[in-house]
Structure 1
Amino acid sequence: MPNLNRDTNTAIFMMCTGVACLSINDAIAKILMEHYSPFQILFIRTVLAFPFALFLALYSGGTSALRSYKPAVHVVRSLLWIAATIMFFTSVKYLDLAKATALIFVAPLFIAIISSVFLKEPVSRAKWLAILAGFVGMLIIVRPGLIAFNAVTALPIATAVVYALLMLGARQIDPRESVWTQMLYLTGISGILSGLLVPFVWTAIRLEDLWLFAGITAFGITGMALMTQAFRLGSAVVIAPLDYTGLLWATLLGWLFWTEMPDTTTLIGAIVIVASGTYIIKNARNTA
Protein backbone atom coordinates (compact mmCIF):
# COMPACT_ATOMS: atom_id res chain seq x y z
CA MET A 1 0.00 0.00 0.00
CA PRO A 2 2.77 2.56 0.76
CA ASN A 3 4.23 1.97 -2.69
CA LEU A 4 0.82 2.50 -4.27
CA ASN A 5 0.34 5.76 -2.39
CA ARG A 6 3.83 6.93 -3.33
CA ASP A 7 3.16 6.15 -7.01
CA THR A 8 -0.16 7.99 -6.88
CA ASN A 9 1.39 11.05 -5.26
CA THR A 10 4.20 11.02 -7.82
CA ALA A 11 1.66 10.69 -10.64
CA ILE A 12 -0.37 13.62 -9.30
CA PHE A 13 2.77 15.77 -9.08
CA MET A 14 3.84 14.78 -12.59
CA MET A 15 0.39 15.48 -14.04
CA CYS A 16 0.09 18.91 -12.41
CA THR A 17 3.63 19.84 -13.49
CA GLY A 18 3.01 18.53 -16.99
CA VAL A 19 -0.19 20.55 -17.33
CA ALA A 20 1.68 23.67 -16.15
CA CYS A 21 4.36 23.05 -18.80
CA LEU A 22 1.78 22.70 -21.57
CA SER A 23 0.05 25.87 -20.36
CA ILE A 24 3.34 27.74 -20.69
CA ASN A 25 3.69 26.12 -24.12
CA ASP A 26 0.33 27.64 -25.11
CA ALA A 27 1.32 31.06 -23.76
CA ILE A 28 4.54 31.01 -25.80
CA ALA A 29 2.51 30.02 -28.87
CA LYS A 30 0.29 33.07 -28.31
CA ILE A 31 3.40 35.29 -28.27
CA LEU A 32 4.89 33.67 -31.39
CA MET A 33 1.59 33.92 -33.28
CA GLU A 34 2.10 37.69 -33.41
CA HIS A 35 4.88 37.20 -35.98
CA TYR A 36 4.70 33.65 -37.37
CA SER A 37 2.27 31.27 -39.04
CA PRO A 38 0.99 28.40 -36.87
CA PHE A 39 2.41 26.00 -39.49
CA GLN A 40 5.87 27.47 -39.03
CA ILE A 41 5.62 27.30 -35.25
CA LEU A 42 4.45 23.67 -35.41
CA PHE A 43 7.15 22.72 -37.91
CA ILE A 44 10.02 24.23 -35.92
CA ARG A 45 8.73 22.73 -32.70
CA THR A 46 8.49 19.24 -34.16
CA VAL A 47 11.91 19.46 -35.82
CA LEU A 48 13.49 20.49 -32.53
CA ALA A 49 11.50 17.89 -30.58
CA PHE A 50 12.20 14.93 -32.86
CA PRO A 51 15.73 14.15 -31.55
CA PHE A 52 14.38 14.01 -27.99
CA ALA A 53 11.44 11.81 -29.04
CA LEU A 54 13.88 9.52 -30.84
CA PHE A 55 16.11 9.31 -27.76
CA LEU A 56 13.17 8.50 -25.46
CA ALA A 57 11.92 5.80 -27.84
CA LEU A 58 15.33 4.17 -28.18
CA TYR A 59 16.05 4.48 -24.46
CA SER A 60 12.77 2.84 -23.47
CA GLY A 61 12.50 0.16 -26.14
CA GLY A 62 15.73 -0.04 -28.11
CA THR A 63 15.70 -0.28 -31.89
CA SER A 64 12.45 -2.25 -31.76
CA ALA A 65 10.75 1.00 -30.71
CA LEU A 66 11.37 2.30 -34.23
CA ARG A 67 9.00 -0.26 -35.70
CA SER A 68 5.34 0.51 -36.27
CA TYR A 69 2.85 -2.25 -36.93
CA LYS A 70 0.17 0.14 -38.22
CA PRO A 71 1.92 3.17 -39.77
CA ALA A 72 -1.27 4.35 -41.48
CA VAL A 73 -2.85 4.94 -38.09
CA HIS A 74 0.02 7.22 -37.13
CA VAL A 75 -0.38 9.19 -40.36
CA VAL A 76 -4.07 9.79 -39.70
CA ARG A 77 -3.43 10.73 -36.06
CA SER A 78 -0.66 13.11 -37.18
CA LEU A 79 -3.08 14.85 -39.54
CA LEU A 80 -5.54 15.22 -36.67
CA TRP A 81 -2.77 16.49 -34.40
CA ILE A 82 -1.72 19.09 -36.98
CA ALA A 83 -5.31 20.26 -37.45
CA ALA A 84 -5.89 20.54 -33.69
CA THR A 85 -2.62 22.42 -33.13
CA ILE A 86 -3.18 24.87 -35.98
CA MET A 87 -6.73 25.66 -34.87
CA PHE A 88 -5.80 26.11 -31.23
CA PHE A 89 -2.75 28.26 -31.96
CA THR A 90 -4.92 30.44 -34.18
CA SER A 91 -7.58 30.73 -31.50
CA VAL A 92 -5.16 31.91 -28.79
CA LYS A 93 -3.97 34.66 -31.13
CA TYR A 94 -7.41 36.27 -31.05
CA LEU A 95 -9.00 34.98 -27.85
CA ASP A 96 -8.04 35.30 -24.20
CA LEU A 97 -5.89 32.34 -23.18
CA ALA A 98 -8.31 31.32 -20.41
CA LYS A 99 -11.34 31.44 -22.71
CA ALA A 100 -9.69 29.33 -25.41
CA THR A 101 -8.50 26.85 -22.78
CA ALA A 102 -11.94 26.58 -21.18
CA LEU A 103 -13.61 25.86 -24.52
CA ILE A 104 -11.13 23.13 -25.47
CA PHE A 105 -12.01 21.35 -22.24
CA VAL A 106 -15.26 20.17 -23.84
CA ALA A 107 -13.17 17.41 -25.48
CA PRO A 108 -14.26 14.72 -22.94
CA LEU A 109 -17.86 15.48 -23.88
CA PHE A 110 -17.15 14.81 -27.56
CA ILE A 111 -15.21 11.67 -26.67
CA ALA A 112 -18.26 10.36 -24.81
CA ILE A 113 -20.62 11.28 -27.67
CA ILE A 114 -18.45 9.77 -30.40
CA SER A 115 -17.90 6.63 -28.33
CA SER A 116 -21.65 6.23 -27.88
CA VAL A 117 -22.84 7.07 -31.40
CA PHE A 118 -20.10 5.53 -33.53
CA LEU A 119 -18.46 2.94 -31.28
CA LYS A 120 -21.75 1.85 -29.70
CA GLU A 121 -20.41 2.15 -26.18
CA PRO A 122 -23.18 2.39 -23.57
CA VAL A 123 -23.63 5.76 -21.87
CA SER A 124 -25.79 6.08 -18.77
CA ARG A 125 -28.52 8.65 -18.36
CA ALA A 126 -26.43 10.45 -15.74
CA LYS A 127 -23.55 10.78 -18.22
CA TRP A 128 -25.87 12.16 -20.89
CA LEU A 129 -27.02 14.76 -18.37
CA ALA A 130 -23.37 15.57 -17.62
CA ILE A 131 -22.70 15.93 -21.37
CA LEU A 132 -25.72 18.23 -21.69
CA ALA A 133 -24.48 20.29 -18.74
CA GLY A 134 -21.08 20.60 -20.39
CA PHE A 135 -22.62 21.96 -23.56
CA VAL A 136 -24.63 24.41 -21.50
CA GLY A 137 -21.36 25.57 -19.97
CA MET A 138 -19.94 26.00 -23.47
CA LEU A 139 -22.94 28.08 -24.52
CA ILE A 140 -22.56 30.21 -21.40
CA ILE A 141 -19.03 31.10 -22.53
CA VAL A 142 -19.86 31.60 -26.20
CA ARG A 143 -23.18 33.37 -25.47
CA PRO A 144 -24.66 33.00 -28.95
CA GLY A 145 -27.30 35.63 -29.69
CA LEU A 146 -26.27 37.82 -26.75
CA ILE A 147 -23.06 39.10 -28.31
CA ALA A 148 -21.82 39.28 -31.87
CA PHE A 149 -20.63 35.77 -32.72
CA ASN A 150 -16.94 35.61 -33.52
CA ALA A 151 -16.01 32.74 -35.80
CA VAL A 152 -12.69 32.45 -33.96
CA THR A 153 -14.65 31.31 -30.90
CA ALA A 154 -15.55 28.16 -32.81
CA LEU A 155 -11.87 27.22 -33.24
CA PRO A 156 -11.27 25.87 -29.70
CA ILE A 157 -14.53 23.90 -29.96
CA ALA A 158 -13.46 22.46 -33.32
CA THR A 159 -10.09 21.70 -31.73
CA ALA A 160 -11.88 19.75 -29.00
CA VAL A 161 -13.71 17.66 -31.61
CA VAL A 162 -10.50 16.86 -33.50
CA TYR A 163 -8.69 16.14 -30.23
CA ALA A 164 -11.45 13.71 -29.26
CA LEU A 165 -10.95 11.88 -32.58
CA LEU A 166 -7.20 11.87 -31.95
CA MET A 167 -7.62 10.29 -28.53
CA LEU A 168 -10.10 7.69 -29.76
CA GLY A 169 -7.79 6.95 -32.68
CA ALA A 170 -5.22 5.75 -30.16
CA ARG A 171 -7.34 2.62 -29.78
CA GLN A 172 -6.33 1.62 -33.30
CA ILE A 173 -2.62 1.62 -32.46
CA ASP A 174 -1.11 -1.83 -32.20
CA PRO A 175 -0.79 -2.78 -28.49
CA ARG A 176 2.79 -3.92 -29.11
CA GLU A 177 3.85 -0.30 -29.65
CA SER A 178 4.97 1.66 -26.59
CA VAL A 179 3.77 5.15 -25.79
CA TRP A 180 7.23 6.45 -26.69
CA THR A 181 6.98 4.86 -30.13
CA GLN A 182 3.64 6.62 -30.56
CA MET A 183 5.20 9.97 -29.60
CA LEU A 184 8.09 9.37 -31.99
CA TYR A 185 5.84 8.75 -34.97
CA LEU A 186 3.46 11.56 -34.05
CA THR A 187 6.36 13.99 -33.85
CA GLY A 188 8.17 12.77 -36.95
CA ILE A 189 5.17 12.52 -39.26
CA SER A 190 3.79 15.86 -38.05
CA GLY A 191 7.13 17.46 -38.84
CA ILE A 192 7.17 16.02 -42.36
CA LEU A 193 3.56 16.93 -43.16
CA SER A 194 3.74 20.45 -41.73
CA GLY A 195 7.04 20.90 -43.57
CA LEU A 196 5.21 20.55 -46.88
CA LEU A 197 3.35 23.81 -46.24
CA VAL A 198 6.04 25.76 -44.41
CA PRO A 199 7.77 27.12 -47.56
CA PHE A 200 4.55 28.96 -48.45
CA VAL A 201 4.22 30.71 -45.07
CA TRP A 202 7.84 30.97 -43.90
CA THR A 203 8.90 34.16 -42.15
CA ALA A 204 12.51 34.93 -41.27
CA ILE A 205 13.07 34.10 -37.60
CA ARG A 206 14.11 37.03 -35.47
CA LEU A 207 17.08 36.44 -33.18
CA GLU A 208 15.12 37.55 -30.13
CA ASP A 209 12.56 34.81 -30.81
CA LEU A 210 15.01 31.91 -30.83
CA TRP A 211 14.61 31.40 -27.09
CA LEU A 212 10.82 31.31 -27.54
CA PHE A 213 11.09 28.50 -30.08
CA ALA A 214 13.46 26.68 -27.75
CA GLY A 215 11.03 27.26 -24.89
CA ILE A 216 7.94 26.02 -26.70
CA THR A 217 9.85 22.87 -27.63
CA ALA A 218 11.23 22.26 -24.14
CA PHE A 219 7.94 22.89 -22.32
CA GLY A 220 5.97 20.90 -24.90
CA ILE A 221 8.23 17.85 -24.64
CA THR A 222 8.47 18.03 -20.86
CA GLY A 223 4.74 18.45 -20.46
CA MET A 224 3.86 15.50 -22.69
CA ALA A 225 6.51 13.26 -21.10
CA LEU A 226 5.37 14.07 -17.55
CA MET A 227 1.68 13.60 -18.35
CA THR A 228 2.36 10.34 -20.16
CA GLN A 229 4.34 9.00 -17.21
CA ALA A 230 1.64 10.20 -14.80
CA PHE A 231 -0.94 8.01 -16.55
CA ARG A 232 1.46 5.07 -16.36
CA LEU A 233 1.91 5.45 -12.59
CA GLY A 234 -1.55 6.50 -11.45
CA SER A 235 -5.18 5.66 -12.07
CA ALA A 236 -6.71 7.56 -14.98
CA VAL A 237 -9.77 8.28 -12.83
CA VAL A 238 -7.54 10.19 -10.41
CA ILE A 239 -5.09 11.69 -12.89
CA ALA A 240 -7.27 12.77 -15.84
CA PRO A 241 -9.33 15.44 -14.01
CA LEU A 242 -6.09 17.19 -13.03
CA ASP A 243 -5.87 18.30 -16.66
CA TYR A 244 -8.37 20.99 -15.71
CA THR A 245 -5.72 22.73 -13.58
CA GLY A 246 -4.61 24.09 -16.95
CA LEU A 247 -7.46 26.59 -16.69
CA LEU A 248 -5.86 28.07 -13.56
CA TRP A 249 -2.51 28.39 -15.32
CA ALA A 250 -4.12 29.86 -18.44
CA THR A 251 -5.87 32.49 -16.31
CA LEU A 252 -2.67 33.34 -14.44
CA LEU A 253 -0.50 33.53 -17.57
CA GLY A 254 -3.14 35.55 -19.42
CA TRP A 255 -3.24 38.02 -16.56
CA LEU A 256 0.55 38.27 -16.22
CA PHE A 257 1.40 38.79 -19.89
CA TRP A 258 -1.72 40.30 -21.46
CA THR A 259 -3.68 41.64 -18.46
CA GLU A 260 -6.50 39.30 -19.50
CA MET A 261 -9.10 38.47 -16.89
CA PRO A 262 -12.04 36.19 -17.71
CA ASP A 263 -15.38 37.77 -16.96
CA THR A 264 -17.87 36.24 -14.54
CA THR A 265 -19.88 34.57 -17.31
CA THR A 266 -16.79 32.86 -18.72
CA LEU A 267 -15.79 31.63 -15.26
CA ILE A 268 -19.27 30.20 -14.63
CA GLY A 269 -19.23 28.41 -17.98
CA ALA A 270 -15.74 27.06 -17.27
CA ILE A 271 -16.83 25.71 -13.88
CA VAL A 272 -19.79 23.93 -15.47
CA ILE A 273 -17.57 22.40 -18.18
CA VAL A 274 -14.97 21.27 -15.63
CA ALA A 275 -17.63 19.75 -13.37
CA SER A 276 -19.30 17.84 -16.19
CA GLY A 277 -15.99 16.67 -17.66
CA THR A 278 -14.74 15.52 -14.28
CA TYR A 279 -17.91 13.51 -13.73
CA ILE A 280 -17.58 11.81 -17.13
CA ILE A 281 -13.92 10.98 -16.57
CA LYS A 282 -14.39 9.65 -13.05
CA ASN A 283 -17.30 7.46 -14.16
CA ALA A 284 -15.71 6.32 -17.42
CA ARG A 285 -15.81 2.67 -16.35
CA ASN A 286 -19.46 2.72 -15.40
CA THR A 287 -21.75 1.71 -18.24
CA ALA A 288 -25.03 1.36 -16.45
Structure 2
Amino acid sequence: MPTTLLGIGYMCLGVLCLALGDALSKWLGQSYAIIQIIFFRTLVSVPLVALIAHFRGGLGTLKTRRPWLHVWRGLFATGSMLCFIFGLTLLPLAEATAIAFAAPLFVTLLSLPLLNERVAPLPLMAALVGFGGVLIVVRPGGESFQWGALSLLGAALCYALLMLSARRYGYREPLWAMVFYVVLVPLLVSATLLPGVWQTPQAIHWLAFAGAGILGVGSMLFITLACRIAPAALVAPFDYTAMVWAVLLGWWFWNEAPDLWVYVGSLVIIASGSLIALHERRVAIKARPTT
Protein backbone atom coordinates (compact mmCIF):
# COMPACT_ATOMS: atom_id res chain seq x y z
CA MET A 1 0.00 0.00 0.00
CA PRO A 2 1.39 3.47 -0.88
CA THR A 3 2.58 5.39 2.17
CA THR A 4 0.22 8.28 1.43
CA LEU A 5 -2.83 5.99 1.57
CA LEU A 6 -1.48 4.33 4.69
CA GLY A 7 -0.98 7.75 6.28
CA ILE A 8 -4.56 8.73 5.45
CA GLY A 9 -5.75 5.43 6.94
CA TYR A 10 -3.79 6.05 10.15
CA MET A 11 -5.21 9.57 10.37
CA CYS A 12 -8.79 8.35 9.99
CA LEU A 13 -8.20 5.63 12.57
CA GLY A 14 -6.69 8.14 15.00
CA VAL A 15 -9.66 10.46 14.54
CA LEU A 16 -12.05 7.55 15.18
CA CYS A 17 -10.24 6.79 18.45
CA LEU A 18 -10.48 10.46 19.40
CA ALA A 19 -14.22 10.60 18.65
CA LEU A 20 -14.90 7.43 20.66
CA GLY A 21 -12.87 8.81 23.58
CA ASP A 22 -14.84 12.07 23.43
CA ALA A 23 -18.12 10.15 23.47
CA LEU A 24 -16.98 8.22 26.55
CA SER A 25 -15.95 11.46 28.26
CA LYS A 26 -19.34 13.02 27.48
CA TRP A 27 -21.08 9.97 28.95
CA LEU A 28 -18.89 9.96 32.07
CA GLY A 29 -19.38 13.72 32.45
CA GLN A 30 -23.04 13.08 33.27
CA SER A 31 -22.01 11.32 36.50
CA TYR A 32 -18.49 12.46 37.43
CA ALA A 33 -16.52 15.66 37.85
CA ILE A 34 -14.37 16.75 34.92
CA ILE A 35 -11.25 16.59 37.11
CA GLN A 36 -11.88 12.89 37.77
CA ILE A 37 -12.31 12.18 34.05
CA ILE A 38 -9.03 13.94 33.24
CA PHE A 39 -7.27 12.09 36.07
CA PHE A 40 -8.22 8.64 34.81
CA ARG A 41 -7.59 9.48 31.16
CA THR A 42 -4.08 10.68 31.90
CA LEU A 43 -3.45 7.98 34.52
CA VAL A 44 -3.84 5.44 31.70
CA SER A 45 -2.02 7.57 29.15
CA VAL A 46 1.19 8.35 31.08
CA PRO A 47 2.48 4.75 31.46
CA LEU A 48 1.41 3.88 27.91
CA VAL A 49 3.32 6.84 26.45
CA ALA A 50 6.36 5.93 28.58
CA LEU A 51 6.15 2.33 27.33
CA ILE A 52 5.96 3.45 23.70
CA ALA A 53 8.90 5.81 24.25
CA HIS A 54 10.88 2.92 25.76
CA PHE A 55 10.47 0.88 22.58
CA ARG A 56 10.94 3.88 20.26
CA GLY A 57 14.36 4.95 21.51
CA GLY A 58 14.49 4.39 25.25
CA LEU A 59 13.38 6.39 28.26
CA GLY A 60 16.29 8.74 27.60
CA THR A 61 14.06 10.34 24.95
CA LEU A 62 11.98 11.77 27.80
CA LYS A 63 14.84 13.90 29.09
CA THR A 64 14.53 17.62 28.56
CA ARG A 65 16.58 20.76 29.03
CA ARG A 66 13.46 22.95 29.02
CA PRO A 67 11.27 21.77 31.91
CA TRP A 68 9.34 25.03 32.12
CA LEU A 69 8.40 24.76 28.45
CA HIS A 70 6.76 21.42 29.18
CA VAL A 71 5.04 22.80 32.26
CA TRP A 72 3.42 25.50 30.15
CA ARG A 73 2.51 23.03 27.40
CA GLY A 74 1.02 20.73 30.02
CA LEU A 75 -1.04 23.59 31.44
CA PHE A 76 -2.33 24.43 27.95
CA ALA A 77 -3.29 20.75 27.56
CA THR A 78 -5.00 20.79 30.96
CA GLY A 79 -6.98 23.89 30.03
CA SER A 80 -7.96 22.38 26.71
CA MET A 81 -9.21 19.18 28.39
CA LEU A 82 -11.14 21.05 31.07
CA CYS A 83 -12.86 23.36 28.62
CA PHE A 84 -13.56 20.67 26.03
CA ILE A 85 -15.10 18.14 28.42
CA PHE A 86 -17.15 20.89 30.09
CA GLY A 87 -18.44 21.91 26.67
CA LEU A 88 -19.22 18.28 25.84
CA THR A 89 -21.47 18.02 28.88
CA LEU A 90 -23.51 21.04 27.76
CA LEU A 91 -23.76 20.72 23.97
CA PRO A 92 -24.54 17.95 21.46
CA LEU A 93 -21.46 16.01 20.36
CA ALA A 94 -21.58 17.17 16.73
CA GLU A 95 -21.96 20.84 17.67
CA ALA A 96 -19.10 20.58 20.18
CA THR A 97 -16.88 18.94 17.57
CA ALA A 98 -17.66 21.63 15.00
CA ILE A 99 -16.69 24.43 17.41
CA ALA A 100 -13.48 22.62 18.37
CA PHE A 101 -12.48 22.72 14.68
CA ALA A 102 -11.62 26.37 15.31
CA ALA A 103 -8.21 25.30 16.69
CA PRO A 104 -6.36 25.30 13.31
CA LEU A 105 -7.90 28.70 12.57
CA PHE A 106 -6.47 30.06 15.84
CA VAL A 107 -3.09 28.60 14.85
CA THR A 108 -3.15 30.55 11.58
CA LEU A 109 -4.20 33.84 13.17
CA LEU A 110 -1.73 33.59 16.08
CA SER A 111 1.30 32.57 14.00
CA LEU A 112 2.26 36.19 13.33
CA PRO A 113 2.03 37.68 16.85
CA LEU A 114 3.41 34.62 18.68
CA LEU A 115 5.88 33.11 16.21
CA ASN A 116 6.58 36.14 14.04
CA GLU A 117 5.65 34.06 11.00
CA ARG A 118 4.28 35.87 7.99
CA VAL A 119 0.77 34.67 7.16
CA ALA A 120 -0.12 34.77 3.45
CA PRO A 121 -3.38 36.50 2.47
CA LEU A 122 -5.09 33.25 1.37
CA PRO A 123 -4.84 31.34 4.69
CA LEU A 124 -5.57 34.54 6.61
CA MET A 125 -8.82 35.08 4.68
CA ALA A 126 -9.63 31.37 5.00
CA ALA A 127 -9.20 31.58 8.80
CA LEU A 128 -11.49 34.61 9.01
CA VAL A 129 -14.13 32.86 6.90
CA GLY A 130 -13.71 29.79 9.12
CA PHE A 131 -14.52 31.87 12.19
CA GLY A 132 -17.62 32.99 10.32
CA GLY A 133 -18.52 29.30 10.16
CA VAL A 134 -18.01 29.04 13.93
CA LEU A 135 -20.42 31.95 14.41
CA ILE A 136 -22.97 30.14 12.24
CA VAL A 137 -22.72 27.09 14.51
CA VAL A 138 -22.91 28.95 17.84
CA ARG A 139 -25.24 31.75 16.62
CA PRO A 140 -24.53 34.56 19.15
CA GLY A 141 -27.76 35.71 20.71
CA GLY A 142 -29.46 32.39 19.98
CA GLU A 143 -30.16 29.43 22.23
CA SER A 144 -26.98 27.65 21.17
CA PHE A 145 -24.74 30.49 22.30
CA GLN A 146 -24.08 29.56 25.90
CA TRP A 147 -21.29 28.71 28.29
CA GLY A 148 -20.72 25.43 26.45
CA ALA A 149 -19.88 27.24 23.20
CA LEU A 150 -17.55 29.70 24.94
CA SER A 151 -15.86 26.85 26.80
CA LEU A 152 -15.23 24.97 23.55
CA LEU A 153 -13.72 28.08 21.97
CA GLY A 154 -11.45 28.26 25.02
CA ALA A 155 -10.49 24.62 24.43
CA ALA A 156 -9.67 25.39 20.79
CA LEU A 157 -7.53 28.37 21.84
CA CYS A 158 -5.59 26.32 24.42
CA TYR A 159 -5.04 23.57 21.87
CA ALA A 160 -3.82 26.10 19.31
CA LEU A 161 -1.30 27.45 21.84
CA LEU A 162 -0.15 23.87 22.42
CA MET A 163 0.38 23.37 18.68
CA LEU A 164 2.19 26.69 18.29
CA SER A 165 4.59 25.78 21.09
CA ALA A 166 5.27 22.46 19.32
CA ARG A 167 5.99 24.34 16.10
CA ARG A 168 8.44 26.65 17.84
CA TYR A 169 10.29 24.15 20.03
CA GLY A 170 9.49 20.74 18.54
CA TYR A 171 12.72 20.46 16.55
CA ARG A 172 14.77 21.21 19.69
CA GLU A 173 13.12 18.60 21.93
CA PRO A 174 12.69 14.79 21.54
CA LEU A 175 9.28 13.82 20.15
CA TRP A 176 8.32 11.59 23.05
CA ALA A 177 9.33 14.21 25.61
CA MET A 178 6.91 16.61 23.91
CA VAL A 179 4.16 13.98 24.15
CA PHE A 180 4.94 12.62 27.63
CA TYR A 181 4.82 15.88 29.59
CA VAL A 182 1.63 16.96 27.85
CA VAL A 183 -0.13 14.07 29.62
CA LEU A 184 1.97 14.09 32.80
CA VAL A 185 1.17 17.68 33.81
CA PRO A 186 -2.64 17.22 33.52
CA LEU A 187 -2.27 14.04 35.59
CA LEU A 188 -0.46 15.92 38.36
CA VAL A 189 -2.89 18.85 38.29
CA SER A 190 -5.97 16.60 38.37
CA ALA A 191 -4.45 14.38 41.08
CA THR A 192 -3.98 17.47 43.28
CA LEU A 193 -7.64 18.49 42.86
CA LEU A 194 -9.12 14.98 42.84
CA PRO A 195 -9.79 14.51 46.61
CA GLY A 196 -12.32 17.34 46.57
CA VAL A 197 -14.45 15.79 43.80
CA TRP A 198 -13.82 12.03 44.13
CA GLN A 199 -16.68 9.60 43.52
CA THR A 200 -16.06 5.85 43.58
CA PRO A 201 -16.86 4.63 40.04
CA GLN A 202 -19.33 1.84 39.33
CA ALA A 203 -17.96 -1.30 37.68
CA ILE A 204 -18.99 -0.32 34.14
CA HIS A 205 -17.53 3.15 34.64
CA TRP A 206 -14.10 1.73 35.53
CA LEU A 207 -14.06 0.22 32.03
CA ALA A 208 -15.16 3.53 30.49
CA PHE A 209 -12.42 5.47 32.31
CA ALA A 210 -9.79 2.97 31.13
CA GLY A 211 -11.20 2.94 27.61
CA ALA A 212 -11.09 6.75 27.34
CA GLY A 213 -7.42 6.73 28.35
CA ILE A 214 -6.48 3.94 25.93
CA LEU A 215 -8.37 5.60 23.08
CA GLY A 216 -6.59 8.89 23.83
CA VAL A 217 -3.18 7.26 23.48
CA GLY A 218 -4.36 5.36 20.39
CA SER A 219 -5.47 8.56 18.68
CA MET A 220 -2.16 10.26 19.50
CA LEU A 221 -0.17 7.27 18.23
CA PHE A 222 -2.07 6.86 14.95
CA ILE A 223 -2.11 10.59 14.18
CA THR A 224 1.64 10.78 14.88
CA LEU A 225 2.25 7.81 12.57
CA ALA A 226 0.11 9.43 9.88
CA CYS A 227 2.15 12.64 9.98
CA ARG A 228 5.43 10.68 9.93
CA ILE A 229 4.76 8.57 6.83
CA ALA A 230 2.75 11.08 4.78
CA PRO A 231 2.90 14.88 4.37
CA ALA A 232 1.14 16.50 7.32
CA ALA A 233 -0.70 18.93 5.05
CA LEU A 234 -2.06 15.97 3.05
CA VAL A 235 -3.44 14.01 6.00
CA ALA A 236 -4.54 17.02 8.09
CA PRO A 237 -7.88 17.55 6.27
CA PHE A 238 -8.91 14.01 7.22
CA ASP A 239 -9.08 15.25 10.80
CA TYR A 240 -12.49 16.55 9.77
CA THR A 241 -13.83 12.99 9.50
CA ALA A 242 -14.38 13.52 13.24
CA MET A 243 -17.58 15.34 12.28
CA VAL A 244 -18.98 12.18 10.68
CA TRP A 245 -18.27 10.14 13.81
CA ALA A 246 -19.62 12.89 16.08
CA VAL A 247 -22.94 12.97 14.20
CA LEU A 248 -23.27 9.17 14.23
CA LEU A 249 -22.25 8.74 17.88
CA GLY A 250 -24.43 11.63 19.04
CA TRP A 251 -27.44 10.19 17.21
CA TRP A 252 -26.78 6.63 18.37
CA PHE A 253 -26.19 7.26 22.09
CA TRP A 254 -28.09 10.49 22.82
CA ASN A 255 -30.57 10.74 19.95
CA GLU A 256 -29.01 14.09 19.00
CA ALA A 257 -29.95 15.55 15.63
CA PRO A 258 -27.93 18.67 14.61
CA ASP A 259 -29.96 21.37 12.91
CA LEU A 260 -29.22 22.73 9.43
CA TRP A 261 -27.06 25.60 10.70
CA VAL A 262 -24.66 23.24 12.45
CA TYR A 263 -24.10 21.44 9.14
CA VAL A 264 -23.73 24.72 7.21
CA GLY A 265 -21.27 26.16 9.73
CA SER A 266 -19.34 22.89 9.84
CA LEU A 267 -18.95 22.87 6.06
CA VAL A 268 -17.63 26.45 6.13
CA ILE A 269 -15.13 25.57 8.90
CA ILE A 270 -14.01 22.37 7.14
CA ALA A 271 -13.61 24.14 3.79
CA SER A 272 -11.54 26.90 5.42
CA GLY A 273 -9.32 24.45 7.29
CA SER A 274 -8.81 22.33 4.18
CA LEU A 275 -7.85 25.41 2.16
CA ILE A 276 -5.27 26.36 4.79
CA ALA A 277 -3.85 22.81 4.74
CA LEU A 278 -3.70 22.84 0.92
CA HIS A 279 -1.88 26.18 0.96
CA GLU A 280 0.65 24.86 3.51
CA ARG A 281 1.26 21.80 1.33
CA ARG A 282 1.93 23.96 -1.75
CA VAL A 283 4.33 26.15 0.23
CA ALA A 284 6.14 23.04 1.53
CA ILE A 285 6.49 21.63 -2.00
CA LYS A 286 7.90 24.91 -3.32
CA ALA A 287 10.40 25.03 -0.45
CA ARG A 288 11.88 21.61 -1.30
CA PRO A 289 15.34 21.56 -2.89
CA THR A 290 15.21 21.09 -6.65
CA THR A 291 18.44 19.13 -6.90
Preserved contact between residue 7 and residue 226 of structure 2 (Cα < 8 Å): yes
With over 3 angstroms needed to count, the CA separation of the structure-2 counterparts of 1:52 and 1:118, relative to structure 1, is closer
Report what 2:146 is aligned to.
150
Show CA shifts across 1:221-246 (max 9, x none).
11110111110111011111110000
2: CA distance, partners of 1:133 / 1:282: 16
2: CA distance, partners of 1:279 / 1:95: 27
Report what 1:124 is aligned to.
120
2: CA distance, partners of 1:259 / 1:148: 17
Name the aligned partner's letter for residue 209 of structure 1. Answer: H
Runs of 4+ in 1 over 4 A off after TM superposition: none
Name the aligned partner's letter for residue 208 of structure 2. Answer: L
Preserved contact between residue 138 and residue 144 of structure 2 (Cα < 8 Å): no
% identity of equivalent residues: 38
1:87 deviates by 0.6
1:153 deviates by 1.3
Say yes or no: does 1:69 pair with 2:65.
yes
Name the aligned partner's letter for residue 150 of structure 2. Answer: A
When structure 1 is superposed on structure 2, of 190-199 and 119-128 the one drifting more is 119-128
1:15 deviates by 0.5
Report what 2:272 is aligned to.
276
| Residue 80 of structure 1, aligned match among 67, 76, 93 | 76
Report what 1:168 is aligned to.
164
Preserved contact between residue 58 and residue 66 of structure 1 (Cα < 8 Å): no
Unaligned runs of 5+ in 2: 287-291
Report what 2:32 is aligned to.
36
Report what 1:196 is aligned to.
192
Query: What count of residue pairs does the alignment treat as equivalent?
Result: 284
Report what 2:135 is aligned to.
139
Say yes or no: does 1:222 pair with 2:221.
no
What pairs up with 1:77-116 in 2 under 5 angstroms? 77-116=73-112
Name the aligned partner's letter for residue 215 of structure 2. Answer: F
1:53 deviates by 1.0
Name the aligned partner's letter for residue 207 of structure 2. Answer: W
Unaligned runs of 5+ in 1: none
Show CA shifts across 1:157-216 (max 9, x none).
111111100100113436353322222222222211221111111111112211101210
SS at match of 2:200: coil
Taking structure 2 as the reference length, the TM-score comes to: 0.93
Report what 1:253 is aligned to.
249
SS at match of 1:237: helix
